[in-house]
Every structure is written in C-alpha cells, then in structure tokens.
Amino acid sequence: MEKLIVDLGKNSYFISIGSNLLVKKNIFCPLKSGDQAMLVTNKTLANIWKDKVLYYLNKAGIRVNQVVLPDGEKYKNLYEMESIISALLEHRHGRDSTLIALGGGVIGDITGFSAAVYQRGIRYIQIPTTLLSQVDASIGGKTAVNHLLGKNMIGAFWQPSSVLINIDFLHTLPKRELISGIAEIIKYSIIFDVDFFVWLENNIDGILSLDSEVIKYCILKCCEFKLKLIELDEREMNLRALLNLGHTYGHAIESHVGYGNWLHGEAVSAGIVMAARTAEKMGKLDNKDVQRIELLIDRVGLPIKGPKNMLPSSYFPHFMRDKKVLSGMIRMVLPVKIGQAEIFTGIDKSVISSVIEDCI
C-alpha cells in the first residue's frame, strides 16, 4: 500500500493506494469503533461492492446506515442530494457523524457537498471506484451538484477526511468508464510532465489491460501531481485552475447534450483537443505537439471531435457560465507545450469558433 498526505494544515488527510485495502487495520480512519456513519452509493455499485464494504465497516465496529441513489450524471442534482440529507436526519446523525462516498465522481461530488452543508459541515471519506475518480475527482475537496444551465454550479470546497483508492474496484468497471478516466490522466501529463506523457505513449496498453503495476504507478503519479497543486492553491484562486485543461469546452458539451450522454472523460478529451488546436491557432503550441496529443487520445478510444450537431453558437452561452469567467471575459487553460499549460484571457472569438468548426 502506498500512502500520500495532502498537507493542508488542519484540513490535511491521507490518500491510501493499493489492492485489498478494505482488509487493512484502521483503513477507515478517522472512523473508530462505535462511530456513526452513512454510506452513500448508487444502484449499480450496490449490487457489486456495497455489502463487502458494509461487512468491513461493521467488522470495525462502525454503526452504518446507507443511501442508494440512481446511477448516472443526470442524478447529480439537488433533488437526489435531499435524499441524503433526509436519511441523515431520519437516522439522527449528528455533527460527529461521517458520510462515506462509495462510487465515482458523481457519488463523490454529491456526498461531499452533502457533508459540507449538513449541520454546517461534517466529515466524509472518499472511496472512489472509477479510474477517473481515483486519479482526479476524489482528491482536493471540490464538491458540487449540477444545474440545468451548468455543470457543478452549486457546490463548496470541503476536504475529505481520507481517500481510499482500492485498485480492485477497477476490475468491475465497464470498459467505457475505464477509457473515460484515461482522459484525466492524459490531462495531467500535458499540464505537468512531458516525461509522463512519453510514459503514457509507451504504457497505454498496460493501463487499458489493468496491469497492476502499471495502473498503480499511474494512479500514484496523478495523485502526486494533484496534491502538490492543491497544497499551493486549495480554493482554486490561481494555479489550481490549470487542472481545468479541456474542461471549458468539455463542460459545454456535457451541458448541451444532456448529462450522461457523453461521459465526463469523453467530453474532456474532445475539449483537450480543442484547447490544443486553440493554442496552435494562437501560435502558442507547435503542430507536432497537437498531433501527438490527438494520436494518444485516439489510441485510447476517446473522441477527438465534439458532437456533430453542436455548432459554435451552442458553445458560447455555456462558456459565459464557466466558473473561470472573470468580468465577462472567457478564460481558458491552453497547453503551450506538452508538459506545460497556461491560463489565457481575451481569446478572439473567431479563433474559438474556427476551432469548433474544425472539430465537428
């Protein structure tokens, strides 16, 4: 088992990475025998992993209730969140209780946000079950639900008490979900480390086949990248915004086509290509780097183009609701070379429109 610490002073916590984590002693720290908790998961995972997780929680002496939500991005909303709050109240959970998120980014986000607002804040533990949530969504304390007009528009920064990344969960993950998660891994390499990008070019087949050593190294590397940025900028005031590479275009796609019709990683992968092409048109990124980025994304089986029926006019309203917008100005994270990205403001709309037209 690998163990990392996210050093945020009083909000610090451990990330545990490995196989068979549930059998480890005190793995549900800071929970201890006699504590009260609420497990939140979805219907799909309830049939696969819920009982096993409950078994080990009960074995540790933890008193656990449970909430099972519908499965899918379209259920990451205030209505489903209310069912979590209602269950906490019905079972008389106090401020000393802990929520446990067993699932992917949707479950992690909605559980974390519920923890942030229930009685003005209680603890929560992340147990991510998808590749995307293991390398990205479960770490850093960004919690939210979606609004019809925009993704993740209602939320809070609320750090988990611990993150348990059990690699075994990935073996029951649908192939499409696994591939979707690789988009965030590619994102990290483009932002931070050309050597990691080269490693991905050489090891992408090992990730797709879930080679245990390859996948463990990959998850560990991504967690290290993210925690360093979180420690520098916990509440996304500046540097942490770099993690949104591909997300301005990607969130617009998700919102337009309807949550869940494109998986998050699928939308982000198309968004990364659009961001790279935007940088190229601005003279900030070499065409050879654009080609390498597109080739790697295409090799994985991720989209390199946006929806065929989504014209530039469909993107811009979503851009203006993006959380990075300041003083009415669109801000985008763009790669300037593989291994380095920057935030740009005031990009010519004709450049953006041209990129979207090229990616239909």
Residues of the chain with CATH 3.40.50.1970: 2-172
List, in sequence order, every residue forming a beta bridge with 334; answer none if it has no partner: 342
Check whether 326 has a pLDDT greater than 80: no
Q: Which of 25, 120, 288, 308 is catalytic?
A: 120
Mark whether 236 is an active-site residue. yes
Longest dimension (CA), the chain: 61
Name residues whose C-beta falls within 8 Å of residue 20's C-beta, 6 or more positions apart in sequence.
166, 168
Q: Which of 93, 264, 318, 323 is catalytic?
A: 264
What percent of the chain stands above pLDDT 70?
99
CA distance 3 to 163: 10
Q: Which of 151, 240, 256, 323 is catalytic?
A: 240
Q: Which of 146, 177, 244, 254 is catalytic?
A: 244
Mark whether 92 is an active-site residue. no
Q: What is the pLDDT of residues 181-212, one digit of tens each?
A: 999 999 999 999 999 999 999 999 999 999 99
Rounded to two decimals, the pTM is 0.94
Q: What is the pLDDT of residue 328?
A: 73
Q: Which of 93, 123, 151, 247 is catalytic?
A: 247
Q: Which band of pLDDT confidence, cut at 50, 70 and 90, is reported for residue 327?
A: low
Mark whether 120 is an active-site residue. yes
Mark whether 226 is an active-site residue. yes
Residues of the chain with CATH 1.20.1090.10: 183-358
Question: Contact, 164 vs 16, CB < 8 A?
Answer: yes
DSSP code per residue over 66-130: EEEEPSSGGG-SHHHHHHHHHHHHHTT--TT-EEEEEESHHHHHHHHHHHHHGGG--EEEEEE-S
Q: Which of 73, 80, 177, 236 is catalytic?
A: 236
Q: Which band of pLDDT confidence, cut at 50, 70 and 90, is reported for residue 324?
A: confident
Mark whether 256 is an active-site residue. no
Q: What is the pLDDT of residue 238?
A: 87
Q: Which of 80, 177, 184, 254 is catalytic?
A: 184
Extract the runs of DSSP E, i.e. beta strands, from the chain: 2-6, 13-18, 36-42, 63-69, 98-103, 123-128, 142-147, 150-157, 162-166, 331-337, 340-345
Q: What is the pLDDT of residues 215-255, one digit of tens each?
A: 999 999 999 999 999 999 999 988 999 999 999 999 999 99
What is the CATH architecture assignment of 183-358? Up-down Bundle (1.20)
Mark whether 244 is an active-site residue. yes
Domain 2-172 belongs to what topology? Rossmann fold (3.40.50)
